[in-house]
Amino acid sequence: MKNLPSIFAWLTLISALPLISMGAVVTTVDAGMAFPDWPTSDGYSMLAYPWLQSIGEPDKFLEHGHRLAGMLTGFFALLLCGSAFLTPQRPAVRILATLVLVLVIAQGLLGGMRVSQVSKVLAMIHGNFACWVFTVMAIAVAVMSPRWANVERLPTGTRTRAAFSATVVLCLVFFLQSVLGGMLRHLGAAHAWRDHPYFAFVVLGVAAITWVLIRRLHHPWLSSWANLMLLLVNGQFLIGLGTWLFRYGWPDAGIVAIQQTSALSALRSLHTLGAVLGFMGLGVMIARLIRTAPVHAPVSETTVETKTRNSSLTTPLDGSSRLAGGAV
C-alpha cells in the first residue's frame, strides 16, 4: 500500500507522454479549434462524443483524442494525490502529489480557455506550461522511488554551488528558447524567426559547461543523469536543425524547403515533444543536485564554548605568545 503513490506517479507520467505528443500534433496541424466549445465537443459530453466515428475528420479526431488523453492523465493524478494522503507518506511526497494534481487541473483549464477565448497567446502558454507540468511529474517519480532515500550525498566540502548554479541557468535559457519557439510556432513572431535558431547555440554552450561541472563532482548518480541531460539537449538541437532545414530550406546547400508534408509535421511535433523532455531532464537534474548536496553538521553550543575558551587561553599576553599551562 505504501508504494501506491509511486505506482500512480509513474502512471501519471507515462500517460502524459501521449497527451503531450497529441497536443504537439494538434498544434502542428492547427486543429486546436476543431471544436468551438469546451468542455463539451460539439455539444457532446467528453465521454459521449462518438470519437472513433470521427476518424474521417482528422482535426476533430485529434483534438478530441487529446482531450480524452487529458482526462486519463487527470484521473491518474487524482489517484496519485489520494493515495499519498491515504497511506503513510513523507511530507515531500504529499506536497508533490498535490502539486501534480493542481498543475494538471491548471493545464486543463488553460486548454479550455484557449478554446473559449479563441486565443493563440493562451495556446502558446498552454504549450509552454506543459514543460513545467511534466517536469514536476518526473520529479515526483524520482522522489517517490525507493532509491531516493538511499542516495549517497557528496562529501562535505565538495563545491556543488557552481554545478547547481549552471544547471539553474541552463534550465532558464532552455525554457526561454522554448518560449521563443512557441512564439514562432503559435504567433509567427518575426523576431523569433531570427532569435530562436541563434539562441540554440547559447543553450548548447551552457549545456556543455554544465555537463563538465557536474561530471567534476565524480558522483555516478549525478553523472549518469548529466549524460542523459546533455543527450536530450543535443538531440533537441539536431531535431530543431532538421525542422528548420525542411521548413525553410537552404538554397546555397541545395536543400529545398518542403511545406505541408507528413515528414515536416512529424519533425515539428517531435521538436515540441523534445522541448518538454529536455526541460524535464534539467528539472530532475536540479532535484538530484539538491538531494546529493553535502550536509554540514550544525555547530553545537558546547563546541562554541570550547572554541571560545581555547581562544582566550591562547591570547598573546605582554607581547609574548603563551599557551595554557606555561610560556613558549
Task: Note the pLDDT tens digit of each residue in 64-106.
Answer: 999 999 999 999 999 999 999 999 999 999 999 999 999 999 9
pLDDT (0 to 100) of residue 319: 45
- Cα dihedral 134→140→141→142 (10° resolution): 110
Q: Which residue has the higher pLDDT, 285 or 307?
A: 285
Least confident of 18-32, 98-112, 210-224, 256-270: 256-270
pLDDT (0 to 100) of residue 262: 82
State what percent of residues in the chain have pLDDT above 70. 87
Q: What is the DSSP letter of 326?
A: E
pLDDT (0 to 100) of residue 53: 92
Asked if 242 and 267 count as a contact pair (C-beta separation under 8 A), the reply is: yes
The tens digit of pLDDT for each residue in 190-205 reads 888 889 999 999 999 9
For residue 303, name the pLDDT band (cuts at 50, 70, 90): very low
> Per-domain residue ranges for the chain?
1-150, 154-294
Task: List beta partners, residue 317.
Answer: 320
Whether 161 shows a pLDDT value over 70: the answer reads: yes
pLDDT (0 to 100) of residue 256: 64
Q: What is the mean pLDDT of residues 114-140?
A: 96
Whether 304 shows a pLDDT value over 60: the answer reads: no
Residue 140 to residue 32: CA distance in whole angstroms: 29
Residue 167 to residue 278: CA distance in whole angstroms: 12
Q: What is the mean pLDDT of the chain?
A: 88
pLDDT (0 to 100) of residue 193: 80
In angstroms, the Cα distances linking 88 to 39, 56, 94, 143, 254 are 35, 49, 10, 15, 63
Predicted TM-score (pTM) of the model is 0.87
For residue 321, name the pLDDT band (cuts at 50, 70, 90): very low
Whether 119 shows a pLDDT value over 70: the answer reads: yes
pLDDT (0 to 100) of residue 188: 85
pLDDT (0 to 100) of residue 35: 96
How remote is the C-alpha of 40 from its chain's centroid?
30
For residue 323, name the pLDDT band (cuts at 50, 70, 90): very low
Residue 60 to residue 51: CA distance in whole angstroms: 8
The tens digit of pLDDT for each residue in 21-47 reads 999 999 999 999 999 999 999 999 999
In angstroms, the Cα distances linking 191 to 174, 195, 269 are 18, 6, 22
pLDDT (0 to 100) of residue 36: 94
